[in-house]
């Protein structure tokens, strides 16, 4: 697939996610009698426009996003059909509709994947002997609860393991064996060995065994010191090359890291680089078993509706927990990404999937990215930050509690300050993207 085509497809997909968000605002505005001055698809100069029933519908040059401009939005207005004249509950419904439509889009797109290749039950394998003895776990048992958290798909367990970590505290699991639920508690496995400091995605692709795609690089670890970054792909160690996760695991099992320097080959933006790194000795804790996040099991349409909801929940949960990871100070500047990095990573996944699995799976991986982006946009817009939907929603909730509107000038000033801060953040993310993608 040509790189330019991949970039355009990625940009259009991001644009669709944003337009659906704005369409949610648009629909609820119309339902509640608010005049929509302009609804546009795309940004920049208008290419086409037509006015219909008081609304200017526009198609703009840049296929990136859209907008819904309402009468009296962000200002005091007594005109008929003004957003400002509507009841607080109608204004709340209009604001909430944007994120809600993103979640609905994520649900619909999830159905495409689920009905194409199925879902990923949390089967276990490679069970540590002590854990097996303490819990009775056997290969192909299914984890359904971990530390009180319900587990429906393997990736849910992955969130807790990666973002919460595994400590020396007792682990409580519930699993299904021969149709029977069993709950057990056990001590995590202490692991003392040499690491290069990476976390990689077991499900680099939606189908088949994907590349060793770095989900995170441990701060001050050997890989980080050697310059590796989140999104890089490990393709070889000491001259032995491997194409997927299974080959990487097989190699590191046969050649465990020690205190000697290793040469790691990694791919970034389609180019292969090498880096010398000395593994670091560390003591940590593990679950004591591996679990499925890659194998997909076919399901019927009715069951896909249930797992469509699970899929949306998973992505919402992953966004929220990732934010918690950031607020706890565990993320670095390199972990922040915007449109440039998103397009770069989307095209990288599409290209890799197209070469290894064909056009259909490249399409499914694009859909998977759209689900992530849609859920991300929905959650981020609900954060109580001025200038975002969540900030405005907070103002209207305060209005409900107080029983009267906030002074329009104060509301406008809060939103203006929030907008300025948001733009500064976007500038930082843009330069960070350019530094990370093109450096």
Task: List, for residues 130-169, the tens digit of each pLDDT value.
Answer: 999 999 999 999 999 999 999 999 999 999 998 888 999 9
For residues 336-355, give the mean pLDDT.
66
pLDDT at residue 336 above 70?
Answer: no
Give the C-alpha separation, 164 to 161, whole Å.
6
Nearest to 121 by CA among 147, 156, 89: 156
Contacts of 156 (CB under 8 A, 6+ apart): 122, 149, 150, 314, 317
Give the C-alpha separation, 146 to 276, whole Å.
38
Q: What is the pTM of this model?
A: 0.82
What local confidence, expressed as pLDDT, does residue 206 receive? 46
Residue 401: how many other CB atoms lie within 10 Å? 8
- 8 Å CB contact between 385 and 426: no
What local confidence, expressed as pLDDT, does residue 208 receive? 46
For residues 5-13, give the mean pLDDT.
79
Average pLDDT of the chain is: 86
Give the C-alpha separation, 241 to 231, whole Å.
18
For the chain, the farthest-separated pair of C-alpha atoms sits apart, in whole angstroms, at 75
Strand-pair category, 212-217 with 233-237: antiparallel
Give the C-alpha separation, 416 to 67, whole Å.
18
Confidence of residue 207 (pLDDT cuts 50, 70, 90): very low
Residue 324 or 159, more confident: 159
The partner residues of 2 in beta bridges, in order of sequence, read none
Per-residue model confidence as pLDDT tens digits over 55-92: 999 998 877 778 899 998 877 777 888 998 999 999 99
Q: Please, what are the domains in the chain?
A: 3-116+371-438 (no CATH), 120-193+282-295 (2.30.42.10), 197-278 (2.30.42.10)
| Torsion angles phi and psi, residue 159, rounded to 5 | -60, -50
DSSP-derived 3-state class of residue 151: coil
Q: Any idea which residue has 């509706």 for tokens?
A: 305
Nearest to 157 by CA among 320, 314, 304, 262: 314
Strand-pair category, 240-241 with 290-291: unpaired
Q: Give kind and range of the element (H or E) at residue 159.
A: helix 154-159
End-to-end CA separation in angstroms for the chain:
24
Residue 408 or 304, more confident: 304
pLDDT at residue 26 above 90?
Answer: yes
What local confidence, expressed as pLDDT, does residue 338 receive? 59
For the ranges 32-36, 220-224, 290-294, 325-329, the lowest mean pLDDT is seen at: 325-329
Give the C-alpha separation, 39 to 42, whole Å.
10
């Amino acid at each position: 697939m040509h790189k330019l085509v991949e970039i355009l497809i990625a940009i259009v997909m991001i644009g669709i996610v944003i337009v659906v968000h704005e369409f949610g605002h648009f629909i609820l505005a119309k339902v509640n009698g608010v005049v929509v001055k302009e609804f546009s698809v795309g940004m920049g100069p208008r290419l086409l426009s037509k006015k219909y029933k008081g609304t200017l519908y526009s198609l703009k040059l840049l296929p990136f996003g859209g907008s819904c401009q309402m009468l009296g939005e962000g200002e005091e207005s007594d005109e008929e059909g003004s957003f400002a004249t509507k009841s607080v509950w109608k204004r709340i419904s209009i604001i909430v509709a944007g994120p809600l439509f993103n979640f609905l889009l994520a649900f619909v797109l999830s159905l495409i994947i689920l009905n194409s290749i199925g879902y990923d039950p949390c089967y276990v394998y490679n069970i540590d002997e002590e854990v097996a003895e303490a819990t009775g776990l056997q290969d192909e048992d299914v984890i359904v609860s971990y530390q009180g958290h319900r587990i429906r798909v393997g990736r849910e367990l992955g969130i807790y393991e990666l973002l919460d970590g595994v400590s020396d505290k007792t682990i409580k699991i519930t699993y299904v064996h021969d149709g029977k639920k069993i709950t057990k508690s056990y001590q995590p496995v202490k692991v003392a060995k040499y690491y290069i400091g990476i976390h990689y995605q077991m499900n680099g692709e939606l189908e088949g065994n994907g590349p060793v795609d770095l989900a995170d690089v441990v701060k001050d670890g050997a890989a980080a010191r050697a310059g590796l970054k989140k999104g890089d792909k490990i393709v070889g160690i000491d001259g032995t090359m491997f194409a997927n996760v299974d080959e990487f695991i097989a190699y590191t099992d046969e050649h465990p890291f020690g205190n000697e320097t290793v040469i790691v080959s990694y791919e970034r933006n389609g180019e292969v680089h090498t880096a010398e790194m000395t593994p670091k000795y560390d003591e940590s804790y593990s679950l004591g078993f591996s679990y499925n996040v890659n194998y997909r099991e076919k399901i019927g349409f009715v069951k896909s509706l249930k797992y469509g909801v699970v899929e949306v929940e998973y992505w919402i949960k992953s966004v929220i927990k990732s934010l918690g990871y950031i607020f706890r100070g565990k993320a670095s500047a390199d972990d922040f990404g915007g449109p440039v990095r998103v397009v770069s990573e989307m095209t990288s996944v599409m290209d890799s999937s197209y070469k290894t699995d064909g056009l259909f799976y490249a399409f499914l991986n694009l859909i998977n990215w759209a689900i992530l982006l849609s859920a991300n946009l929905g959650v981020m817009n609900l954060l109580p930050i001025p200038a975002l939907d969540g900030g405005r929603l907070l103002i209207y909730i305060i209005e409900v509690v107080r029983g009267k509107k906030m002074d329009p000038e104060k509301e406008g000033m809060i939103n203006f300050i929030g907008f300025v801060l948001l733009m500064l953040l976007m500038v930082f993310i843009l330069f960070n993207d350019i530094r990370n993608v093109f450096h």
